[in-house]
């Protein structure tokens, strides 16, 4: 929030009154509210996905052992492919 101006910076010297129009103050407040709502929604989504082991995060149920094993195997294969691609790039 670098662009937020302190109230002391908004007061005209010698006049002692706020020089910002009310509309601009309201606009800044609305921007802040939207930003905070977006941040809270992202945090809620992250908590929802980390709650269960399911890949889509939509169900709170835990995956059975077989599904977990398949996922681990797929992750292992993906890591190997990524590592192979990285090695190929280093050779070029």
Q: What is the pLDDT of residue 78?
A: 93
Q: Are residues 20 and 46 in the same domain?
A: yes
Q: Are residues 71 and 41 in the same domain?
A: no
| 11 domain residue, yes or no | yes
| 57 domain residue, yes or no | no
Provide the number of structural domains found in the chain: 2
| 69 domain residue, yes or no | yes
Q: Are residues 43 and 87 in the same domain?
A: no
Give residue 41's domain range: 1-51
Does the predicted TM-score (pTM) go above 0.75?
A: no
Q: What is the pLDDT of residue 5?
A: 56
| 58 domain residue, yes or no | no
| Average pLDDT per 10 consecutive residues for the chain, totaling 92 residues | 54 52 69 90 87 55 80 93 88 76
Q: What is the pLDDT of residue 14?
A: 47
Q: What is the pLDDT of residue 41?
A: 92
| DSSP string covering the chain | -TTPPPHHHHBPTTT-SB-S-HHHHHHHHHHHHHHHHHHHHHHHHHHHHHHSS-SS----SPPPHHHHHHHHHHHHHHHHHHHHHHHHHHH-
Q: What is the pLDDT of residue 91?
A: 81
| 40 domain residue, yes or no | yes
Measured distance CA(29)–CA(2) in Å, rounded: 14
């Amino acid at each position: 929030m670098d662009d937020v101006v302190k109230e002391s910076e908004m007061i005209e010297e010698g006049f002692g009154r706020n020089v910002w129009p009310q509309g601009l103050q309201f606009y800044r407040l609305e921007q802040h509210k939207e930003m905070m709502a977006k941040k809270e929604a992202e945090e809620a989504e992250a908590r929802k996905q980390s709650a269960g082991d399911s890949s889509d995060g939509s169900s709170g149920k835990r995956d059975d052992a077989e599904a977990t094993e398949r996922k681990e195997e797929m992750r292992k294969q993906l890591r190997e492919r990524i590592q192979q691609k990285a090695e190929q790039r280093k050779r070029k």
